[in-house]
Amino acid sequence: MQIIKLNAIDSTNQYLHDLVGQMSLEDFAVVTARYQTKGRGQRATIWQSEKDKNLIISVLKKEIDLNPQHQFLLNIVVSLAVFKTLQAFKIPKLSIKWPNDILSHDKKIGGILIELILKKNTINKAIIGIGLNVNQIKFKDLPSASSLQNITGIHYDLDELLHKLLENFKYYFSIKNTAELWATYENLLFRKDKPSTFAGLSGDLFSGIIKGVSQQGKLMVKTENSIEEFDLKSIKLLY
């Protein structure tokens, strides 16, 4: 297993991306850092992390051979691998907030950022960035964030978490039944089949019920008159 451990870095995703162009790396090669200065999340957010407290990794997945139209499947596979890992450590009340935030007790404990490398209009490789809040206790100005230790009172070994996560990566990437993966992911969605409030592009609020995710990765929401599809930039789940 190829694991590159860094003391501090601006971004493990960027470091691994640069490394791919410089040397031959194994499938599931990992870059992990004790501290990250410019970690990124969805919607161009910054990932806040204290030194030595959290799991900060980027994983290289090679030989994917996937049509870009089906790229959301990667999101599903990675989300399920993280979910299954946390289940193994008995983290309670887990859910996945579309597209790929990992929640416990409705608090965010993990995030995923996947960057694609294409070859001849096909997804050839992916750099999978994962941040898990593990032993950090305080989160400044982030009332919706929590950590494994906050939730369970247990201090976790980061290496143990990493090895379990890589084991689940390999397992979920080996599954060829995409319908099974999709159904499992949808069943774990935060607030699925519950009346919820959303904000649209203009900031207007509306009510709806999450029904699932389309093949293009759009959130399917049942509104008053129909089931509508929304991409990440056009909708925000409030509660």
Query: Distance between CA 199 and CA 236 in Å, rounded?
Result: 5
Q: How many domains does the structure of the chain reveal?
A: 2
Confidence of residue 104 (pLDDT cuts 50, 70, 90): very high
Q: Are residues 171 and 53 in the same domain?
A: yes
Q: Are residues 181 and 153 in the same domain?
A: yes
Give mean pLDDT, residues 85-101.
97
For the purposes of burial, counting CB atoms within 10 Å of the CB of 95, is it exposed (0-12), middle (13-18) or buried (19 or more)?
Answer: middle
Q: Are 6 and 34 in contact (CB under 8 A)?
A: yes
Q: Are residues 174 and 112 in the same domain?
A: yes
Distances (CA, A) of 182 to 5, 21, 233: 33, 32, 22
Q: Are residues 137 and 205 in the same domain?
A: no
Average pLDDT along the chain: 93
CA angle 221, 225, 227 (to 5 degrees): 30
Give the length of the chain. 239
Q: Are residues 181 and 209 in the same domain?
A: no
Quote the percentage of the chain above a pLDDT of 90.
Answer: 86
Contacts of 45 (CB under 8 A, 6+ apart): none
Q: Tell me which residue range forms the domain holding 156.
A: 3-187
Choose among 54, 7, 66: nearest CA to 31: 7
Give mean pLDDT, residues 132-143.
92
For the purposes of burial, counting CB atoms within 10 Å of the CB of 145, is it exposed (0-12), middle (13-18) or buried (19 or more)?
Answer: middle
Give mean pLDDT, residues 83-110.
97
Q: Are residues 160 and 208 in the same domain?
A: no
Last residue of a domain, one of 166, 187, 208: 187
Last residue of a domain, one of 147, 167, 187: 187
Q: Are residues 213 and 137 in the same domain?
A: no
Q: Are residues 12 and 85 in the same domain?
A: yes
Choose among 29, 125, 16: nearest CA to 68: 125
Query: Distance between CA 58 and CA 15 in Å, rounded?
Result: 9
What confidence tens digit (pLDDT) does each residue in 206-237 have? 999 999 999 999 999 999 889 999 999 899 99
What confidence tens digit (pLDDT) does each residue in 30-86 have? 999 998 886 555 544 555 678 899 999 999 999 999 999 999 999 999 999 999 999
Last residue of a domain, one of 167, 187, 207: 187
Radius of gyration of the chain (CA): 18
Q: Are residues 20 and 44 in the same domain?
A: yes
Assign residue 89 the CATH number of its domain: 3.30.930.10
Q: Are residues 60 and 161 in the same domain?
A: yes
* 218 secondary structure, DSSP code: P
Choose among 32, 19, 68: nearest CA to 163: 32
Q: Are 55 and 130 in contact (CB under 8 A)?
A: yes
Tokens of 177: 């039944």
Q: Are residues 95 and 209 in the same domain?
A: no
Q: Are residues 136 and 222 in the same domain?
A: no
Give mean pLDDT, residues 101-113.
96
- Predicted pLDDT at 203: 85
pLDDT above 80 (res 137): yes
What confidence tens digit (pLDDT) does each residue in 158-213 have? 999 999 999 999 999 999 999 999 999 999 999 999 999 999 988 899 999 999 99
Give mean pLDDT, residues 86-90.
98
Query: Distance between CA 239 and CA 235 in Å, rounded?
Result: 12
- Predicted pLDDT at 24: 92
Which helix (H) or strand (E) is 88 found in, with range? helix 72-88
Assign residue 202 the CATH number of its domain: 2.30.30
What confidence tens digit (pLDDT) does each residue in 15-26 have? 999 999 899 999
Beta-strand pair 3-9/30-36: parallel
